[in-house]
Amino acid sequence: MNRMLVKALLAVAVLLCCLLMGMAATSDTPAATTNVTYNKDVLPILQNNCQVCHRAGEVAPMAFGSYQETRPWAMAIKSAVLSKKMPPWFADPRYNHFSNERKLTPQQVKTLVSWADNGAPEGDAKDRPAPVTFVDGWNIGKPDMVIEMPTAFPVPAEGTIEYQYVVIPGNFKQDTWVTAAEVRPGNRAVVHHVIAFVRPPGSKWLKEAQPGIPYVPKKERSEARQNQNPEGGQRQGEGQQQQSQGPRGQRRGDGGITDAENLTGYAPGLQPLELRDSAKLVRAGSDIVLQLHYTVNGTAGADKTRIGLVFAKTPPKYRNVTLLAPTRDFAIPPQADNYEVKSQVQLQDTVTLVDMMPHMHFRGKDFVYKITYPNGETQTLLSVPKYDFNWQLGYTLDKPMVIPKGSRIECTAHFDNSPNNPYNPDPTKEVKWGDQTWEEMMIGWFSVAVDPKVDTAGLIKFEKPGTKGDANSAEQNTQPQSGAKASSTGSGSR
Ligand code: HEC
């Protein structure tokens, strides 16, 4: 009894204390917990949720390491976490769980808000947790192979720079399984995004490019000249791309895996490739192709980007393949504020879905992935209700899903070409597919794990959105077998 009384009294005392401190520190704090300090409460949250980006040399422009570094950002932190701007994460929580989810608990948000509201005190140094040690440089561990641009690309102080492609001979003597890959820009001030592709031997893609020399494919050169929009390629992010002459642009019906495969990339929010029990196959004699998007910032600079690869120590059980459901035929009318574009592919074999990554440009508004199983049941796989082009996020399923042969992946995107879209460079323009950021793209990237023996080139069939039933009714019939017959492998359907 006595102990309870003491406890109760203590609680009251603490409460009073808090109230008084709160009143002293700020005028308009609603019921804040006030003994929150940087050292004791805030730093652990920052270490676990923010420092991955907010530290020297990483993607965020300011570091949240020391108290001195963090203190000026207290109010900005409060508003960023209340508005859910930070940490960046855009999946609707109603659909699926993702292993790379970034999220604060309501309690953590409260802690950060209270801290800011109460004058952002530092607190006692002895409460401070040990600093988290991040790997300096590579986040994927020590790479087995590092491939660097042979010569630096000079970035001028001003102007629009077309996408540069650098073909780097990989010198792969044998078929190699890659479990992790990371792009490290040489100069983050000018590198906007990078995508690393694996170009297998025999591919004709960028055949005319000299190894190691930054190259601009002809189509892009003329396109860029026609579209002299100084804003477009510069301010905002740009992520996974499809190039006009590239592995995916050439033919409709090309799965993007026959001429080259997307390996990994660098863009705000994008995490390096790190596979769990699968690996990507890099065939002997393959080259690495870097697609680089440089942005000017008023000061001339130079960049030498590198890519690091970690090899599987033993042959993997599964091969990871990046596939895509794109639609290139669309024209978004001027001023349209909710223009819908759909894409659809049908799986020609049973696969395990690992992750998804929607891609659009400035006018992208929302993006949904759905699956229709062979038995007709449907399920939402990922919904990104507020797509933000500045963030190129991939969503890795917490529990990879078995998708039976014959299932369809259907993507629905909306575009906002109205003046209400703050990123819209020009609401008066009709917008079509194109590489540059002021043009548009609609790609539902996804990666799957398959038995290494599966023929990945024929893994998906591109269909006209809305196609149902037997595969023979599909627009592009690249595979003889019918999807509808394949419903016996229904293990993944729900
Ligand atoms: C995936 C990387 C990443 C993570 C994780 C991340 N940030 Fe950021 N943050 C950025 C980048 C990049 C910017 C600058 C671009 C922008 O403002 O959108 C930024 C900007 C900010 C800003 C400035 C916002 C403004 O309006 O000026 C604040 C404050 C912030 N982050 C707080 C946080 C906090 C707090 C966390 C953890 C709870 C966090 N961030 C996690 C990458 C990240």
Reading the chain (494 residues) residue by residue, the pLDDT tens digits are 455 555 555 555 544 444 444 444 443 444 445 799 999 999 999 999 999 889 887 788 899 989 999 999 999 999 999 999 999 999 999 999 999 999 999 999 999 999 999 999 999 999 999 998 877 678 898 999 999 999 999 999 998 888 899 999 988 999 999 999 999 999 988 898 898 999 989 888 888 899 999 998 775 444 443 333 322 332 222 333 333 333 333 333 333 334 678 889 888 778 889 987 899 999 999 999 999 989 888 999 999 999 999 999 998 999 999 899 999 999 999 999 999 999 999 999 999 999 999 999 999 999 999 999 999 999 999 999 999 887 888 999 999 999 999 999 999 999 999 999 999 999 999 999 987 778 899 999 999 999 998 888 889 999 999 988 764 444 443 433 333 322 222 232 22
Residue among 42, 48, 53, 89 to mutate when testing ligand 1 (max atoms within 8 A of CB): 53
Nearest residue (CA) to ligand 1, atom 15: 60
pLDDT of residue 4: 52
State residue 189's pLDDT score. 86
Ligand 1: distance of its center to the CA of 118 in Å?
Answer: 21
- Which residues are paired to 409 by β-bridges? 345, 371
Query: Starting at the edge strand that comes first in sequence, how are the strands of the sheet with 460-463 ordered?
Result: 378-384, 364-372, 408-415, 339-347, 460-463
Confidence (pLDDT) at 469: 76
Contacts of 43 (CB under 8 A, 6+ apart): 128, 129
Q: What pLDDT, on a 0 to 100 scale, did the predictor assign at position 378?
A: 97
Q: What is the DSSP letter of 440?
A: B
Classified by CATH at the fold level, domain 138-316 comes out as: Jelly Rolls (2.60.120)
The class level of CATH for 317-494 reads mainly beta
Q: Any idea how long the chain is?
A: 494
Quote the CA–CA distance of 315 and 451 in Å, as a whole number. Answer: 12
The one-letter amino acid code at 6 reads V
Closest ligand 1 atom, CA of 73? 29
Q: Which atom of ligand 1 is nearest to the CA of 87?
A: 41
CA 238 to chain centre: 10
Contact call for residues 462 and 452 (beta carbons, < 8 A): no
Q: How far is CA 120 from the centre of its chain?
A: 32
The CA 74 to ligand 1 mean position distance, Å, reads 12
Nearest to 384 by CA among 465, 301, 269: 269
What was the pLDDT predicted at 281? 93
By the 8 A CB rule, do 296 and 156 touch? yes
Output the CA 87–ligand 1 centroid distance in Å.
Answer: 6
Spatial separation of the C-alpha atoms in residues 163 and 240, rounded to whole Å:
12
User: What is the position in ligand 1's atom list of the atom closest to the CA of 61?
Assistant: 14
Residue 288: name the closest of 185, 179, 211, 174 by CA.
Answer: 211
Q: How far is ligand 1, taken at its centre, from the CA of residue 91, in Å?
A: 17
Structure tokens at 384: 């990104």
Contact between 215 and 314 (Cβ < 8 Å): no
In this chain, the answer to whether the domains covering 138-316 and 317-494 adopt an identical fold is yes
Q: Which residues lie with the beta carbon below 6 Å from any ligand 1 atom?
A: 49-50, 52-54, 59-61, 73, 76-77, 80-81, 86-88, 102, 104, 268-269, 390
How many whole angstroms from its chain centre is CA 139?
16
Question: Cα of 237 to ligand 1 centre, how many Å?
Answer: 15
Q: Where are the domains of the chain?
A: 2-127, 138-316, 317-494
Contacts of residue 426, defined as CB under 8 A and 6 or more positions apart, other chains included, come to 229, 438
What confidence score (pLDDT) does residue 3 get? 54
Amino acid at 244: S
